[in-house]
Structure 1
Amino acid sequence: MEVGQVILVTIKRLGINGEGVGYYKKKVVFINGALPGEVVVAEVKKVEKNYATAELVRVKEKSTDRVKPGCPVYDQCGGCQVQHLSYPAQLRGKKEIVIESFQKYFGSDKLPEIRETVGMEHPWSYRNKAQLQVGMANGKVVTGLYAAGTHQLIDISGCPIQHPKTNEMVKTTRDVLQQLNIPIYNERKRTGVVRTVVARVGFETEGAQITLVTAVDEIPRVKELVLEMRSRLPYVQSIMQNINNKKTSLIFGEKTKTLWGKEAIDEKLGEVEFSLSPRAFFQLNPEQTIKLYNFVREAALLTGKETVVDAYCGVGTIGLWLAPDAKEVRGIEVIPDAVKNANENADRSGIANAHFFTGKAEELLPKWVKSGFRPDVVVVDPPRTGCVDKLLQTLIEIKPKRIVYVSCNPSTLAKDCRTLRKAFDVKWVQPVDMFPQTSHVECCTLLVGKGS
C-alpha cells in the first residue's frame, strides 16, 4: 500500500473517533465519513507500520443507515463526527466501540457484560454550554471552531446540538463585539483582546451566563458592551470576564472577574441544586446526566450505612446525587473553585453528610485511610486520560467493596479496568449517549472487590 493509491475497502465498524474502519490486504484502514457495511473507494493519505488512513472518494455500496446530516457545516467544523449515521445506528456503533476497547485489553472470551447504549428521544439541542473561538473573517467577527488540522474558523453560531439560548447568546455577543469595534485576539500576532465566548444556560432554572475570555485585563468600551448585551439579552444573569494571556490551547486562565450580575448561575439535577461559576465543570447534557447518575446509584448499591469517596468530584454532582442514600460522602477535586462550589451546592441542597476537599485523590485517599477512614464505595470520574496509576494502585491496596468508574473514554476505561482486575471483578458496563451526533460515549462501570 502506498500514499496516493486508490483502494476498495469494505467497512467493518466505527472507530473511536467516528471514522470507518476496514482492512486492505490485512492492514487496518481508517476512513473518515465511511460507515459500517459500506464498500467505499478511498485514496491512501498515510501509511504506518500497523495502520493506514485514507480519504473517502466515493461510496460504492451505501449503508441503509446513512442519512443526510442535520447541520449545513457538519463536514467542515469537526465538532460532530456521525451526523451522517442514523441515530439507532449511532447507539449500536457506540456499544461496538466499547466492546472493541474491552476486547483489546481483556480478550474476546473474558468480557464483562456490556449493555445496550442508552440514548435520547430527541438527540438535538442538548448542550448547555457553547465554548467558541472568536476570530475575524473578511472584516467580520466570527465565532466557531477551527476546521480539523487548520486555523480556519468555521462559524457555528447556529449549532443544532446547542440549546437555542446558548446559540442566541453567542450570536448576540458576536454582533455587539462587531458593533463596538472591540479588538479580536489574533493568535499568530498575539494582539487584540477577545479570544473566546462561553455561553452557559441552566436547563431547569433557565439561568444564563456569558463569559468573555480575553488576552488582556481591560476590555475597551466595557460599560457600553455590558449595557448593550443586557439590553439585547434580558434573561442573562451573569456577564463575566476570564483573563488568559498565555500562548496555550487551554481556554481559561486563572483570573476571573464579574463585569455585571452574579458570579455564578443556578442549575438543578433532580432535587440537587448547583451553583456554576464560569470555570466549574458540569455535564453538558442534563437530560442524559440524570440517566447516567441513576446508573451510578444502581452500581453503588447504597443502603444508608456506606461511606463514599467521590474522586475527581468537580462541583460535587455525583457525590451529592448519592449522598441521600449514604452515611457519608467525601469528594476530592484539584480545582479550588470547583470545591468551593461543591460545598456551597451541598449547603444549598440541605445535604449535611457530604464534604468536599481540594487535592489529588491519589494523595488524600491514602491519608484518610491511615487516619481510620476506609470507604465502602469509591466513585471515579477522571478526564479522558483515565485515572493516574498511583490512584489505581491505592484502590487495589485499600480495596473498597465497590468501585463505580464513570468514563468518557472507553479505551482508558478498559485499560484501567484491566489494572484493577488484580483485586476487582468487572461486573457490567453501561454505555450512555451523552453526546448524540458525535463519536463520544460515556460509560458507567461496576467493579466489585474479589471476595466481597
Structure 2
Amino acid sequence: KYGVPIYDEKAGSGIVRTIVVRTGVKTGETQLVFITNSKKLPKKREMLAEIEAALPEVTSIMQNVNQAKSSLIFGDETFLLAGKESIEEKLMELEFDLSARAFFQLNPFQTERLYQEVEKALVLTGSETLVDAYCGVGTIGQAFAGKVKEVRGMDIIPESIEDAKRNAEKNGIENVYYEVGKAEDVLPKWVKEGFRPDAVIVDPPRSGCDQGLIKSLLDVEAKQLVYVSCNPSTLARDLALLAKKYRIRYMQPVDMFPQTAHVETVVLLQLKDK
C-alpha cells in the first residue's frame, strides 16, 4: 500500500526484513516491531497513524535495525516509534514488562505449568542462593525469589536486564541482582568474588548451553541444577557432559504448543557424592 520495499536477502536490498507482533495474553497489550535494513522507514507517519486508528490494542510500536547478513532476526539498535517501549504480561501473580528484544515464553498458561515443574524439582528452605542463567526479563528467578535468600541472573541482552530490574521493582522483590553478560563469563566472575550458588537454573536457547558454561557448572558444583530445555538434541548433548559430576534424577516434558512437535523439558540433576 505504501510502497515500502521488502528486504531481499540475496541482493541485500530493500528495507523491511520482518514484522514481529507480540501480545500480552493476560493483558491484551500488543507490540509491533518493524525490523529494517536501515534507520530509514518511508511513509512512517502515515503508517503509524493508520495502525493507531485501526488497532487500538497496539500500545507499543518499535523499530529495530538489523543490517547484518545473517539469519538473526534482531539487530542491536532499537528505538520507539509510537506508544510505550514495552508491553505488560502477567505470570504467576507477577507483572512483567517486555521490551522488543527480550525473550518471553509464548504460552503463558503452560509457562506457569513449566515453572511449577521447576518448583517441584528444587528443594528450597529459604536459605539458598540461586542463579537464573539466561534470565531474560527475570521470570524464573522472580517466581522463586520468595523461597530463597538471594537470586542472581544474567543475560546478554541489555534490554532484558533493564526489564528484569524494572520487573523486580514493580513486583516488590528486593533479593535479586542482575548483570549483563554471557553466563559462561559472569558465573566464574561471581565465584571469584566469593559468591557460590546452592542451586542453578539454566534455560538456554535452542543451541543449548555454551560449553564454557558447562565447564563453569562443573567447577562450581552447585548441589541442585535444573535444566529447562526447548531442544531435546542439545539437551542430550549437554547432559552427557554434565554427567561427569551430576546424576539425572528425573525428566518432565511439558507440552508448550499442543498439536506441534515443540516440547519443553525440565531436568533435575543432583551433584554426585564424592
Report TM bin, short chain: over 0.9
Q: CA deviation at 1:398?
A: 1.8
Write out per-residue CA displacement over residues 319-343 of structure 1, whole angstroms, 9 at most, x where no aligned residue: 1111111110000111111111111
Q: Which amino acid aligns with 2:25?
A: F
> What's the secondary structure of 1:181's corresponding residue?
coil
Q: Which amino acid aligns with 2:35?
A: V
Write out per-residue CA displacement over residues 166-220 of structure 1, whole angstroms, 9 at most, x where no aligned residue: xxxxxxxxxxxx2x23222233333322121111100111111111111121211
Q: Which amino acid aligns with 2:68?
A: K
1:320 matched to which residue of 2?
Answer: 142
Cα distance change on mapping 1:247 and 1:376 into 2, 3 Å = same
Write out per-residue CA displacement over residues 403-429 of structure 1, whole angstroms, 9 at most, x where no aligned residue: 000001112212211221222111000
1:169 matched to which residue of 2?
Answer: none
1:247 matched to which residue of 2?
Answer: 69
Q: Which amino acid aligns with 2:188?
A: P
Cα distance change on mapping 1:364 and 1:189 into 2, 3 Å = closer
2:162 matched to which residue of 1?
Answer: 340
Q: 1:284 aligns with which of 106, 109, 128?
A: 106
Write out per-residue CA displacement over residues 25-55 of structure 1, whole angstroms, 9 at most, x where no aligned residue: xxxxxxxxxxxxxxxxxxxxxxxxxxxxxxx
Cα distance change on mapping 1:191 and 1:396 into 2, 3 Å = closer
Q: Which amino acid aligns with 2:173?
A: I
Identity value in percent: 53
Q: Which amino acid aligns with 1:375?
A: P
Write out per-residue CA displacement over residues 379-416 of structure 1, whole angstroms, 9 at most, x where no aligned residue: 11112222122222222222111000000111221221
Gaps of 5+ in 2: none
Q: Please tell me whether residue 412 in structure 1 is matched to residue 219 in structure 2.
A: no
Write out per-residue CA displacement over residues 261-309 of structure 1, whole angstroms, 9 at most, x where no aligned residue: 0010111101221111111100111111100011111112212111000
Superposition CA RMSD, Å: 1.4
For the residues of structure 2 that align with 1:202 and 1:353, how far apart are their CA atoms? 26
1:439 matched to which residue of 2?
Answer: 261
Matches within 5 A, 1:390-409: 390-409=212-231
2:191 matched to which residue of 1?
Answer: 369
For the residues of structure 1 that align with 2:168 and 2:251, how far apart are their CA atoms? 29
1:35 matched to which residue of 2?
Answer: none
Q: Please tell me whether residue 351 in structure 1 is matched to residue 200 in structure 2.
A: no
State whether residues 346 and 354 of structure 1, in contact with CA within 8 Å, keep that contact through their aligned partners in structure 2: yes
Matches within 5 A, 1:43-442: 178=1, 180-442=2-264
State whether residues 331 and 357 of structure 1, in contact with CA within 8 Å, keep that contact through their aligned partners in structure 2: yes
TM-score by length of 2: 0.96
TM-score by length of 1: 0.59
State whether residues 271 and 349 of structure 1, in contact with CA within 8 Å, keep that contact through their aligned partners in structure 2: no
For the residues of structure 1 that align with 2:88 and 2:17, how far apart are their CA atoms? 26
Q: CA deviation at 1:246?
A: 2.4
> What's the secondary structure of 1:220's corresponding residue?
coil
Q: Which amino acid aligns with 2:117?
A: F
Cα distance change on mapping 1:416 and 1:185 into 2, 3 Å = closer
> What's the secondary structure of 2:58's corresponding residue?
coil
Gaps of 5+ in 1: 1-177
For the residues of structure 2 that align with 1:189 and 1:360, how far apart are their CA atoms? 33
Q: Which amino acid aligns with 1:181?
A: G
